[in-house]
Amino acid sequence: MIGRALLGLAFAVLAAIGSSGSARAADDYTLPFYDPAITLSYGVDRDARSCRQRDWTNKLWYDCSLHYGRVYDGHTGMDYPMALTSPVAASRDGTVIDRYTGYGTQQFGTYGNFVLVSHADGRRTLYYHLAHDGAHVSVGQAVTAGQLIADSGCSGQCYGAHLHWEMRAVVGGRWTFVDPIYLRLFTTNPGRVPFLASYRRESNAGTEVIPQYATVTHWVEFLNTGGRAWQRAVSRGRTYLATWSPAGHASTFAAADWPSTWVATTVDQASVPPNSVGRFTFGLRASAAPGSYVERFDLLANGLHWFDWSRLGSFYIPIYVISHQVE
C-alpha cells in the first residue's frame, strides 16, 4: 500500500519563524484589544519599494492601490478600525518605555498620542493615534498581556478612528517595523500559534475504488492544535480543504458538493475550538478514465477577521477508477 497522510506543518512553522526557538516560544502576542468584532483594515507593507506592496501571504501587488484587508503602500503597522476611546490592551508582557498623551483625540501630527512597550524577546510594540489623555500607563511601568493600557482615538495622521498597532524589532542592527502576521506571532490563546493542525484519520485508510461516473463520500479528520477556533465563515478563520499546489488546480475528482473545482469543502462544524477534531466531508466523483490516480489536498486556514492565513498540512488520496460495469 501507499503511505498515508503527510503533514509538513511543523517544518513550515519553524521555517516561518526562523531557525532558532520553537513555534510556541514565538507565539506570545495577543491582539491589542478586547472586542472580537474588530477587524483589521490594513496590514504591514513588507516591501520597501514604491508601489510594490507585499502582504502577509507573501503576495506582491504591483500597483499603488489600497488593498483592503491586506496592505497599502509604505504602511508600517496594522490598522484596526474602532470607535473613539475604545479600550486598547498590551499585546504582551513588557515595560512602557515611552508615551505621549497631550494631543487632542482627533488632531493631525504624526503618531499623535502613543504608548511604546518593550518586551523581553527584544521586540517593541507601538500603539498610536490614541485619545487625548488616552494613555493609562506611565514610562517605566510594567504591563501584562491583555492589560488595559490606553483608549483609542484618531490623533496624529489619522483620517478615521482606528488603532495603529505596530511591532518593531532590530533587524540588521537597527530598529524597524516587522509584520507579526507574516511571522505568525499572533494568537487569541496565549502561548499557541493561531492555526495549526494534526492529521488524525479518514474514512478510507486505503485507496478509494470508484466506479467511473460514480461519487463516493470521503471524510478526513484533523485535530486543531492551534490557538484559534476553526470556522466555516469566510471572515472568521475559515478552514477548508483544497487541491492547491500551490496555485489552485481544478480536480478531475471534483464532485457536486465542492464549492469550486479546487475547493473540496470547508470544515463540517460551525466552529472547532482548540484541541477539538474537525471533520471535512466531501464527495469524490470519478469522471476520469479508468486507471490509477493520486489526488492531493491541502488543509488551509484563511481568516480576514483575524487577518491570518496559513497552510496547515496536506494529505493525498490514492484513487482507482474502475469501469462502471463492475463484474
Tell me which residues touch Zn ion (CB under 5 A): 77, 79, 164
Q: How far is the CB of 206 from Zn ion (least distance, A)?
A: 52
**At which residue does the C-alpha cell 492601490 appear?**
65
Cα distance between residue 113 and residue 83, in whole Å = 16
Which residue number, 79 or 208, has a Cβ lying nearer to Zn ion? 79
Q: How far is the CB of 29 from Zn ion (least distance, A)?
A: 17
Q: How far is the CB of 300 from Zn ion (least distance, A)?
A: 28
Which residue number, 164 or 238, has a Cβ lying nearer to Zn ion? 164
Q: Which amino acid makes up residue 28?
A: D
Which residue number, 77 or 303, has a Cβ lying nearer to Zn ion? 77
Q: Are 277 and 223 in contact (CB under 8 A)?
A: yes
Q: How far is the CB of 46 from Zn ion (least distance, A)?
A: 14
Nearest to 59 by CA among 184, 246, 261: 246
Which residue number, 164 or 285, has a Cβ lying nearer to Zn ion? 164
Which residue number, 129 or 311, has a Cβ lying nearer to Zn ion? 129
Q: How far is the CB of 59 from Zn ion (least distance, A)?
A: 19
Q: How far is the CB of 77 from Zn ion (least distance, A)?
A: 5
Beta-ladder partners of 30: 187
Sign of CA dihedral 255, 258, 264, 270: negative
Q: How far is the CB of 57 from Zn ion (least distance, A)?
A: 19
- The rounded radius of gyration (Å) of the Cα atoms in the chain is 23
- For residue 76, give the 3-state DSSP assignment: coil
Cα distance between residue 74 and residue 19, in whole Å = 28
Sign of CA dihedral 42, 46, 47, 48: positive
Which residue number, 75 or 218, has a Cβ lying nearer to Zn ion? 75
> What beta strand segments (E) does 194-234 contain?
197-202, 208-211, 215-224, 230-231
Which residue number, 76 or 269, has a Cβ lying nearer to Zn ion? 76
- For residue 201, give the 3-state DSSP assignment: strand
Q: Are 202 and 221 in contact (CB under 8 A)?
A: yes
Which residue number, 77 or 237, has a Cβ lying nearer to Zn ion? 77
Report residue 76 as a C-alpha cell: 508600517
CB-nearest residue to Zn ion: 164
DSSP state letters, 296-312: EEEEEEEETTTTEEEEE
Tally the residues of the chain. 327
